[in-house]
Amino acid sequence: MLAESPDPHRQTFQEQLNKALICGQRPWKTPLLGPMTWSAIDAVACAHPEASADHIANAYDAYADEQD
């Protein structure tokens, strides 16, 4: 059985969110992230190192909304 290829949108989202959480790195502009997702990840980075669970949930919600 072949492993599924990772979704590039999801992979980019996870990488950018992790960088925002771990080092406060702001996301780069990419067509793989919608504007709401980019803004939500940027808010996480700007709140570093005090990003709250709400910041993180907002990023996941924005990503989910833009993937529909």
Domain residue ranges in the chain: 27-68
Structure confidence at residue 5 (pLDDT): 74
For the record, the structure tokens of 13 come out as 């989202």
Structure confidence at residue 2 (pLDDT): 61
Distances (CA, A) of 28 to 12, 13, 20, 32: 10, 11, 11, 10
Structure confidence at residue 3 (pLDDT): 66
pTM comes to 0.90
| pLDDT tens readout for residues 3-57 | 677 899 999 999 999 999 999 999 999 999 999 999 999 999 999 999 999 999 9
In the block, tokens 């909304």 appear at: 65
